[in-house]
Amino acid sequence: MAHDVMVIGAGIVGISTAIHLLRRGQSVVLVDKNRPGLETSFGNAGIIQREGVRPHAFPRDLATLMQVGLQMSTAARYDPLALPRFAPALMRYWWESSPGHYAHVVKSYAPLIARSIEEHADLIAASGAEDLVVKKGWFLIFRSERALRDEAAKAKTDLELYDIHHRVVDGSEFAQIEPDLRETLAGAIHWTDPWTIRNPGALVGKYFDLFTSMGGEFLAGEAKGLEQDGDGWSASIEGKRYRARQAVITLGPWAPDVLDPLGYRLPLFVKRGYHMHYKPEDGATLNNWMIDAEVGYCLAPMDMGIRLTTGAEFAMRDAAPTPIQLGKAERVARALFPLGERLDPQPWKGARPCTPDMMPIIGPAPRHRGLWVGVGHAHHGFTLGPATGHLLAQAMTGEKPSIDIRPFAMERFGTV
């Protein structure tokens, strides 16, 4: 075998997996048709969401469903022509979001998200990326007192159950924290545990540099025709065949391109998202990351400018961009904060890989020896990349994973 492991997909999950495999003495080749970290790992809000024990559930209240259904929501929109393709996964998403099922999801998900900060901290220190990190949490802002009270009650429960820390900040205090806001808010939940990153793409680049400095090999090209080859795996990359003892698929929304031909029809779907950077007007300063809870967008002070990221667009992965949400969010955000000119020539578009039960797939493929998968992280791919990579490397090399990964097994979907 030319390598012990072939990692297909060089986003944050793939790079993290490759690093942890190298640490365990494995020879690793990392494969991607694009520059590492350029896709979904690049265009996120830059928050390591330690508080995110509750993944994004399908809305079940009539008011929200009506808003989304009538395309009035800023947080979520859909392409009507894509709905027939999405329907089976969305129906299961709705089912898994019922109170009983969702409670089980949260219980399984919490131990994974609990590892997010410590796993990033490990790779940040090893890659020398401390200058990209801000360790003062982020703010979930509210326009109504009732919504703030409801979220504060949930936050109190999460503190008691999952040791997630927060402060409730009233409107007057928040106006002092962010004095350049144009509107007065009801207040905010200050999640104090998470870290934020001033340039997510640069952080993934630092992790990739760490991988290469450890002796990892990178191949630029699309891995085609992945198949079992004797006692290992082989794939064609730029016309040349490469072999490895094991293969791991960390391709995010592109995973079906490799897994479908092997007979794994996973119920993956995408939530697309957009971002744009802005120059602040008149010397205004945004001091903190904040998510507008009742509208559905994030403002983040990044190296490239103030980044506005959108909510979820349910559309086909490769369909043409439709940055309608960005326009809606931008209008609301400009009323809240003095955003100036756009700094990017066009909005960035990415695709979040999602599963109907809101949890990633981490572990072995059940019908093929030596084939592993780490995909489906939805809104938390950036947060969970290092944790997933560590768990995969442990399992692939015969170690007992740091947490039980059985809840994330592919077999739970019953389609494999």
Q: Assess whether 152 and 218 both reside in one domain.
A: no
Q: Assess whether 302 and 218 both reside in one domain.
A: no
Query: Element (H or E) spanning 378, and its range?
Result: none
Q: What is the mean pLDDT of residues 327-343?
A: 97
CB 21 within 8 A of CB 264: no
- The pLDDT, as a whole number, for residue 35 is 87
Say how far apart CA 308 and CA 330 lie, in whole Å.
Answer: 8
Residue 332 falls inside a structural domain: yes
**Confidence band, pLDDT 50/70/90 cuts, at residue 61:** confident
- Please count the other Cβ atoms lying within 10 Å of the Cβ belonging to residue 59: 17
What Å distances lie between residue 274 and 42, 252, 295, CA to CA? 11, 17, 15
Q: Assess whether 232 and 166 both reside in one domain.
A: no
Q: Assess whether 189 and 287 both reside in one domain.
A: yes
Domain of 15, CATH number, reads 3.50.50.60
Residue 92 tokens read as 């299961």
CB 376 within 8 A of CB 13: no
Residue 115 falls inside a structural domain: no
Residue 32 falls inside a structural domain: yes
The predicted-structure confidence for 127-162, as pLDDT tens digits, reads as follows 999 999 999 999 999 999 999 999 999 999 999 999
What's the mean per-residue pLDDT of the chain? Answer: 95
Length of the chain: 416
- The pLDDT, as a whole number, for residue 414 is 81
Q: Assess whether 235 and 287 both reside in one domain.
A: no
- The pLDDT, as a whole number, for residue 60 is 87
Angle at 165 between CA 171 and CA 389, to 5 degrees: 125
The predicted-structure confidence for 252-308, as pLDDT tens digits, reads as follows 999 999 999 999 999 999 999 999 999 999 899 999 999 999 999 999 999 999 999
Q: Assess whether 378 and 242 both reside in one domain.
A: yes
Say how far apart CA 329 and CA 164 lie, in whole Å.
Answer: 29
Residue 165 tokens read as 């820390």
Q: Assess whether 318 and 244 both reside in one domain.
A: no
- Please count the other Cβ atoms lying within 10 Å of the Cβ belonging to residue 412: 15
Number of domains in the chain: 2
Q: Assess whether 153 and 76 both reside in one domain.
A: yes
| Residue 416 scores a pLDDT above 60 | no
Residue 49 falls inside a structural domain: no
Q: Is 25 helix (H, G, I), strand (E, B) or coil?
A: coil
Say how far apart CA 190 and CA 228 lie, in whole Å.
Answer: 49
Q: Assess whether 66 and 162 both reside in one domain.
A: yes
Which residue carries 């928050």 as its tokens?
47
Q: Assess whether 68 and 169 both reside in one domain.
A: yes
Higher pLDDT, 58 or 41: 58
CB 228 within 8 A of CB 263: no
Residue 102 falls inside a structural domain: no
Residue 114 falls inside a structural domain: no
Range of the domain at 72: 62-97+132-196+268-354
Domain boundary among 354, 374, 403: 354
Say how far apart CA 141 and CA 294 lie, in whole Å.
Answer: 8
Q: Assess whether 375 and 315 both reside in one domain.
A: no
Domain of 89, CATH number, reads 3.30.9.10
Q: Assess whether 258 and 284 both reside in one domain.
A: no
Say how far apart CA 398 and CA 200 lie, in whole Å.
Answer: 31
| Residue 1 scores a pLDDT above 80 | no
Q: Is 196 helix (H, G, I), strand (E, B) or coil?
A: strand
Domain boundary among 354, 369, 391: 354
Amino acid at residue number 372: W
CB 93 within 8 A of CB 359: no
Say how far apart CA 29 and CA 14 lie, in whole Å.
Answer: 11
- Does this model's pTM top 0.85? My answer is yes
